């Protein structure tokens, strides 16, 4: 039951991250003609065409979603293992001594 909830929350987080990523990437304006020629190879970020700039929001949200999903899966696995150990301890408590 708990594992199903954890998996549902994880799927929701991934879906929201994908939706935010698609919305941010498609909202970019059309690319400019060409970036200005640089003599020393350095071009400031503000001078780059929009097609060359990466939006940070989808990448950051994707990273946070991935980490939270990983943590939730880890906690769910620990919870299951702890339940199995508790069952074993209960079974040992109820067995008569030799």
Exposed e or buried b for every residue in 30-52, given b needs 16+ CB within 10 A?
A: eeeeeeeeeeeeeeeeeeeeeee
Q: What is the pTM of this model?
A: 0.47
Indicate the domain borders of the chain.
Answer: 2-93
Degrees (nearest 5) of the Cα angle 19, 20, 23?
85
φ and ψ of 77, to 5 deg = -65, -40
pLDDT in tens, the chain (98 residues): 666 776 677 777 777 777 665 654 444 555 555 555 546 677 677 777 777 667 788 899 999 999 999 999 999 999 999 999 999 999 999 988 87
Cα–Cα dist 68/76, whole Å = 12
């Amino acid at each position: 039951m708990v594992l199903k909830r954890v998996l549902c929350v994880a799927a929701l987080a991934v879906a929201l991250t994908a939706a935010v990523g698609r919305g941010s990437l498609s909202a970019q304006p059309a690319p400019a003609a060409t970036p200005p020629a640089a003599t020393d190879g350095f071009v400031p970020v503000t001078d780059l065409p929009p097609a060359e700039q990466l939006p940070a929001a989808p990448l950051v949200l994707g990273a946070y979603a991935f980490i939270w999903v990983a943590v939730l899966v880890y906690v769910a696995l620990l919870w299951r293992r702890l339940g199995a150990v508790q069952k074993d301890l209960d079974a040992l408590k109820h067995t008569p001594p030799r």
